Amino acid sequence: MKRYFEDYLKDWKNRTSRKPLLVRGARQVGKTYTIDKFGKEEFDNYLKINLEENEDLQKLFRQKNTLQIIENLSLMYQKQIKKGSSLLFIDEIQICPEAISSLRYFYEQQPELYVIAAGSLLDHTLNQMQYSMPVGRVEFAYMHPLNFKEFLWALNEIQLADFIDKIETDNYISDAVHNKILELMRKYFFIGGMPEAVKTYVENQDLIEIERIHENILTSLEYDFAKYGTKTEQQQILTVFRQIPKTIGRKIKYVNISSTIRPEAQRNALYKLEMSRIIKLVKHTSSYQSPLEHGTKDVFKPLFLDIGLLNHLLQVRLIDTDSLMSLYEGSLAEQFVGQELLTMPPHFIDKQLFYWLRESKNSNAELDYLFEYNNKIIPVEVKSGKAGTLKSLFVFVYEHNFKKGIRLNINKPEFQNIETQIRLKAKNQDVKFELISLPLYLTYRLFDFM
């Protein structure tokens, strides 16, 4: 299936400043498949090795002589590895920290050789490495589950995907087309973007089989917890993992996750789940200028790895997707938007997400997302239906003198010049700004409308 990440790999191949590439991402998001496809299509000489499947391979990387490593690999696999025309793909590299360190020597000693490495739980290995990290001699890239446009590509809805690419606020969009896109979006909410689930749906259209796949993926993620600390810590991570879906879109309160696990232990569990890229913590920021990181506080909301897996953990058992958003619609809409924002290029940035929170007596306000793009801050309010109050967005644009704000919901695109009043500090305050209303399925094109 087609992925945006393929274009990034092609760009990496063509750059003269290229370094060995280390691809990071959660389990089963398509790292191995995408890199393998790229290697077969773009190189005459391509060698893929898996360090998890062969312990003898790990011993090769305990030396610093990359020429010897290449010669041994050529003999073992009976393949020529040529400078300037060969790709070496080292899969499951997290198994062997020495192999990660060796990437610096490939950069220094074999700069004309194309080298890509990937692995699951890679962040844990990088965090615990006792060997020298190849700082400045390796570049990173990040993969996520399929976003909605990639989902449309997989379903062979190519014309519809192209149509969405060309939508402007003054375009006429028929109800029939708009509703078809919303119907497919609801399917994406249930199926999600994990490649195996999408592939199975494309092949047999069986939603029950999708549930089995989701269960298998979640079980494999849970098995990984056995690698995290003591048995007590493993159980704490499992408890937090199963409770997180119920807190999507809400500020985390440890008492809502577990009344028996100490807050510090829950914090450690959240940290390890984020390092595994199973969750993403959306940080509260008081800032309204770039960089948003400077205004962060120790308050956050969680996002889950994938919206389909999220629904499975919430025990949403639906054969008909028409009513999928009825019970958890607010949480699912916020999860969808966050997931879309994370999958947007550039792929060499490990994106951070933020939200704005104002807590004051009789005047609370919370803006779902503040997104930073090219040093520009974009305030985003997410609504799951066609209507809903925008008080928090009004407060934010008034207090920080913003001229534009974005609302994401299920309506067709619309530009509005808002002139209204809000009650702040016991006074009515005038609010004037341009409100850009976009359907949820245009999330990945936010910047085109700013």
Residue in the structure block whose two tokens are 């933020």:
354
With respect to residue 298, please indicate whether it lies within any of the assigned structural domains: no
The pLDDT of residue 328 is 63
| CA atoms of 266 and 278, how far apart (whole Å) | 15
Domain edge (last residue) among 343, 370, 402: 343
Mean pLDDT of 365-393: 83
Residue in the structure block whose two tokens are 């379903």:
155
* Secondary structure of 213-227 in HEC code, one letter for each residue: HHHHHHHHHHHHHHH
> Same domain, yes or no, for 339 and 437?
no
What is the arrangement of strands in the sheet containing 365-373, beginning at the earlier edge strand? 296-304, 279-285, 354-358, 365-373, 376-382, 404-409, 427-439, 414-424
Bridge partners of 115, per DSSP, are 88
Mean pLDDT of 385-403: 84
With respect to residue 260, please indicate whether it lies within any of the assigned structural domains: yes
With respect to residue 174, please indicate whether it lies within any of the assigned structural domains: yes
> Same domain, yes or no, for 111 and 220?
no
Q: What percent of the chain has pLDDT over 70?
A: 94
Confidence tier at 47 by pLDDT (50, 70, 90): very high
Q: Is 277 exposed, middle or buried (0-12, 13-18, 19+ CB in 10 A)?
A: buried
> 37 in helix, strand or coil?
helix
Where does residue 303 fall: left (phi above 0), alpha (psi -120 to 50 degrees), or beta otherwise? beta
With respect to residue 292, please indicate whether it lies within any of the assigned structural domains: no
The structure tokens listed for 35 are 């890199």
> Same domain, yes or no, for 329 and 373?
no
Confidence tier at 433 by pLDDT (50, 70, 90): very high
With respect to residue 30, please indicate whether it lies within any of the assigned structural domains: yes
The pLDDT of residue 244 is 93
The pLDDT of residue 131 is 61
The pLDDT of residue 126 is 84
Q: Where are the beta strands (DSSP E) in 151-257?
A: none
Confidence tier at 321 by pLDDT (50, 70, 90): very low
Q: Is the pLDDT of residue 290 over 90?
A: no
Confidence tier at 366 by pLDDT (50, 70, 90): confident
CA neighbor of 248 nearest in space, from 301, 284, 297, 298: 301
> Same domain, yes or no, for 155 and 116?
no
With respect to residue 295, please indicate whether it lies within any of the assigned structural domains: no
Query: What confidence tens digit (pLDDT) does each residue in 195-237 have?
Result: 999 999 999 998 889 999 999 999 999 998 888 888 999 999 9
Q: Please provide the average confidence, as pLDDT, over all residues in the chain.
A: 90
Q: Which domain holds residue 16?
A: 4-142
Domain edge (last residue) among 142, 169, 202: 142
Identify the residue with better confidence: 424 or 96: 96
Bridge partners of 293, per DSSP, are none
Helix (H) or strand (E) holding 127: helix 122-128
CB 305 within 8 A of CB 222: no
> 398 in helix, strand or coil?
helix
Q: Is the pLDDT of residue 330 over 50?
A: yes
> Same domain, yes or no, for 127 and 264?
no
Mean pLDDT of 265-271: 94
Mean pLDDT of 415-422: 90
CA neighbor of 243 nearest in space, from 316, 326, 302: 302
Mean pLDDT of 293-317: 89
> Same domain, yes or no, for 333 and 210?
yes
Number of domains making up the chain: 3
With respect to residue 430, please indicate whether it lies within any of the assigned structural domains: yes
| CA atoms of 17 and 30, how far apart (whole Å) | 26
Q: Is the pLDDT of residue 387 over 50?
A: yes
> Same domain, yes or no, for 217 and 339?
yes
CA neighbor of 161 nearest in space, from 141, 145, 146: 146
CB 97 within 8 A of CB 129: yes
Query: What confidence tens digit (pLDDT) does each residue in 23-38 have?
Result: 999 999 999 999 999 9
CB 444 within 8 A of CB 408: no
30-33: long-range contacts at Cβ-Cβ below 8 A with a sequence spacing of 24 or more? 30/1, 30/3, 30/5, 30/143, 30/145, 30/146, 30/195, 31/118, 31/143, 32/91, 32/118, 33/195
- Up-side HSE of residue 323: CA atoms within 13 Å toward CB? 6
The DSSP result for 380-397, as a single string, is EEE-SSS----HHHHHHH
- Which CA distances in Å does 340 have to 34, 188, 270, 334? 19, 12, 22, 10
The pLDDT of residue 317 is 63
CATH code for position 118: 3.40.50.300
CA neighbor of 22 nearest in space, from 30, 14, 31: 31
The pLDDT of residue 171 is 74
> Same domain, yes or no, for 134 and 163?
no
CB 340 within 8 A of CB 443: yes
The pLDDT of residue 315 is 84
Q: Is the pLDDT of residue 428 over 70?
A: yes
Residue 432 has φ and ψ, to the nearest 5°, of -135, 125
The pLDDT of residue 51 is 95
With respect to residue 363, please indicate whether it lies within any of the assigned structural domains: yes
> Same domain, yes or no, for 325 and 432?
no
The structure tokens listed for 283 are 């940080």
> Same domain, yes or no, for 101 and 211?
no
CA neighbor of 180 nearest in space, from 391, 376, 398, 441: 441
Q: What percent of the chain has pLDDT over 90?
A: 67
Query: What confidence tens digit (pLDDT) does each residue in 85-118 have?
Result: 999 999 999 999 999 999 999 999 999 999 999 9
Q: Is the pLDDT of residue 384 over 60?
A: yes
**Amino acid of residue 14:** N
DSSP letter, residue 318: -
> Same domain, yes or no, for 227 and 339?
yes
Spell out the residues 6+ positions from residue 312 whose beta carbon is closer than 8 angstroms to its own.
211, 214, 215, 218
The pLDDT of residue 324 is 47
Mean pLDDT of 313-322: 66
> Same domain, yes or no, for 128 and 164?
no
Spell out the residues 6+ positions from residue 139 whose beta carbon is closer than 8 angstroms to its own.
12, 18, 19, 20, 21, 22, 348
CB 16 within 8 A of CB 168: no
Confidence tier at 386 by pLDDT (50, 70, 90): low
Query: What confidence tens digit (pLDDT) does each residue in 145-164 have?
Result: 999 999 999 999 999 999 99
Domain edge (last residue) among 88, 111, 142: 142
Helix (H) or strand (E) holding 299: strand 296-304
> 145 in helix, strand or coil?
coil
Mean pLDDT of 273-281: 95
Mean pLDDT of 276-280: 95
Q: Is the pLDDT of residue 320 over 60?
A: no
The pLDDT of residue 1 is 86
Q: Is the pLDDT of residue 342 over 80?
A: yes
Residue 320 has φ and ψ, to the nearest 5°, of -100, 125
Confidence tier at 423 by pLDDT (50, 70, 90): confident
> 208 in helix, strand or coil?
helix
